[in-house]
Structure 1
Amino acid sequence: MDLVAVFPMYNVSPELADAWRELAREVGERVAVRGQRIKLDIASTEPTQLDAIWRRPDLLLSQTCGYPLTHGLAEHVHVVGVPIFDAPGCHEYFYSSAIVVRRTDRASALDDYRGKIVAYNDDSSHSGMNALRHAVAPLARGGRFFSQSVRTGSHLDSLRAVSGNRADIASIDCVTLAFAGDYMPDLIGSVRVLALTRAAPALPFIASRSVERDMLSRLAPAVGDVIAARPLLAERLRLKGLAMPPDNAFQAILEREDEARRAGYPNLA
């Protein structure tokens, strides 16, 4: 059976997509057995398509957000490991969201954005929605804080919404923000980081539960080997290594959701 390797989460530019494809190709070469062909792909980042990709029985390796992982995806996949990223807002295998506003805004605190317009990428995103909802919950009144919430479909479009004055504030995965700084400096130059959200485990690498056990056991070492053997590729991908967190590590994402709900703020509003 052909297997698929898909790295869709951080493709902020064609050059970066090529780098992820190169990582996938090298991992595939290290885990393939004789007579087996690894088919590589970089998929669209539309959330509806991503969920179908992550649940494919022939998925050798991909990367997902922790929010869908904790909301039904975990029963379909194995967590191969959690990348250790070299980006501001990351430490060990944890990452934060950067709450960004326009560089020209004078506000200095999250509470100053009461009644403003928030942009967020998707309802199934921890970094773009859940982490910000948790940060805002103590400030909300009657279940509301913002005057309007705008779903943009991607972190880059959330950044563009803030930069283009269509929104006032957004929560951006700090790794995405770092990659955007690498490839889109003009866009990043128009915003600034107001605050960072509480850290959570970074976006895990996953494989289908249908992947054979012996191949699954070779995946994490293969990823680590590529990172160590290809330092320039690892640098482009901001990868320092791969960690295997405790089984309950992603429970932190559910705890942030529960805390916001208990505070009377179930939706980003």
Structure 2
Amino acid sequence: MFASLGMYDLPELAAATNAWWHGLASHFAAQGFRDLPAELNRAGDPVDRLKAPGLIFGQTCGFPLTHKLKDHVQLLATPRYAVPGCAGATYVSWIVVRADDPAKTPADLRGYRVAYNDDGSQSGYNTLRAMIAPIAQGRPFLGGLIESGAHRNSLALVKAGKADVAALDCVTFALIARLAPAELQGIRVLRASAAAPGLPYVTAAATSAAEVRRLQAGIAAAFADPALDTTRATLRLDGCEILPRSAYDVIPAMEQAAIAAGYPQLA
């Protein structure tokens, strides 16, 4: 059995992320779960590891939920975050450029070099593709692509002038603004992307319906636990919602709309 919270696991937040897992685990134990892992699994790719046997609790991006992981995990709950760009259990990406860049609208990004975390990301890729597709009209639009591996790396590439634009998850952006504000100096937000449901908590597809209900009860108890107030505040957690799986249909719909517009990939 293992647990993974790899989505917002910035190094500066490792202690708080560990504390959140320990709090969750204590409430899962109160729901009758035994042999819960003492520590989070941080080995390997944060999406691929959720395919491994024994997943009891994890967090993923919405795009892998509807694509790469769709047959491997099931939805538990969607956490809310108290940061600009989040509304209830939804979030946006901030489209960022350098502060001195003249671009005013997405149409002004023609020929720009894009840094993106990976092409399986809702916040860093799918949402930017959806924004550009109607403008591109089926033709190449961008001046180059750099796969950075992480939102923070994309930000650094734009700041250094090695890329011109990136789409950053608004929660990551807010965490960086608090923990490492110098990384945002010389950067401005051009606009917000379309909203989508936030990064969900998941469990293995093999987890029984009864166990899912007990996990959801444990999650709710952890969010209500006053002993975890400081931990939740550090991680900007502000509650959670149990959404139907269909709430995430907006994500493949964005992809399909871009494909229908003749823009299947950022290009």
2 CA distance for matches of 1:87 and 1:165? 27
Aligned to 1:216: 212
2 CA distance for matches of 1:113 and 1:35? 52
Alignment CA distance shift 1:104-1:13 (3 Å) = farther
Q: CA RMSD in A?
A: 1.6
* 1:68 matched to 2:67: no
Q: 2:55 aligns with which of 35, 47, 59?
A: 59
Q: 2:94 aligns with which of 91, 98, 111?
A: 98
Q: 2:232 aligns with which of 234, 243, 251?
A: 234
Alignment CA distance shift 1:176-1:222 (3 Å) = same
8 Å contact from structure 1 (residues 55, 77) kept in 2: yes
1 CA distance for matches of 2:120 and 2:129? 12
Aligned to 2:153: 157
8 Å contact from structure 1 (residues 227, 233) kept in 2: no
1 CA distance for matches of 2:178 and 2:48? 30
* 1:28 matched to 2:25: yes
Alignment deviations for residues 197-237 of structure 1 (CA, whole Å, 9 cap, x no partner)? 11000010001123344432222222222222222111111
8 Å contact from structure 1 (residues 83, 203) kept in 2: yes
SS of the aligned residue for 2:47 comes to helix
2 CA distance for matches of 1:220 and 1:120? 33
2 CA distance for matches of 1:238 and 1:73? 26
Alignment CA distance shift 1:221-1:151 (3 Å) = same
Aligned to 2:126: 130
Aligned to 2:113: 117
1 CA distance for matches of 2:10 and 2:217? 27
* 1:194 matched to 2:194: no
Q: Which amino acid is 1:51 matched to? A: V
Kindly state the Cα deviation for residue 42 of structure 1 after the two structures are TM-superposed: 4.3
How many equivalent pairs are there?
Answer: 263
8 Å contact from structure 1 (residues 101, 170) kept in 2: yes
2 CA distance for matches of 1:107 and 1:52? 36
- Gaps (5+ residues) in structure 1? none
Alignment CA distance shift 1:190-1:220 (3 Å) = farther
Kindly state the Cα deviation for residue 17 of structure 1 after the two structures are TM-superposed: 1.8
8 Å contact from structure 1 (residues 21, 42) kept in 2: no
Q: TM-score, normalised by structure 2?
A: 0.93
* 1:89 matched to 2:88: no
8 Å contact from structure 1 (residues 80, 219) kept in 2: yes
Percent of counterpart pairs with the same letter?
Answer: 35
Aligned to 1:41: 40
1 CA distance for matches of 2:96 and 2:210? 44
Alignment CA distance shift 1:144-1:39 (3 Å) = same
2 CA distance for matches of 1:34 and 1:118? 45
Alignment deviations for residues 173-199 of structure 1 (CA, whole Å, 9 cap, x no partner)? 111101111111001122111011110
Alignment CA distance shift 1:108-1:37 (3 Å) = closer
Alignment CA distance shift 1:154-1:72 (3 Å) = closer
1 CA distance for matches of 2:71 and 2:137? 36
Kindly state the Cα deviation for residue 52 of structure 1 after the two structures are TM-superposed: 3.0
Alignment CA distance shift 1:35-1:161 (3 Å) = closer
Alignment CA distance shift 1:50-1:12 (3 Å) = closer
8 Å contact from structure 1 (residues 58, 211) kept in 2: no
Q: 2:254 aligns with which of 256, 260, 265?
A: 256
2 CA distance for matches of 1:35 and 1:165? 51
Q: TM-score, normalised by structure 1?
A: 0.92
8 Å contact from structure 1 (residues 19, 236) kept in 2: yes
8 Å contact from structure 1 (residues 67, 125) kept in 2: yes
Aligned to 1:245: 243
2 CA distance for matches of 1:182 and 1:42? 26
* 1:183 matched to 2:179: yes
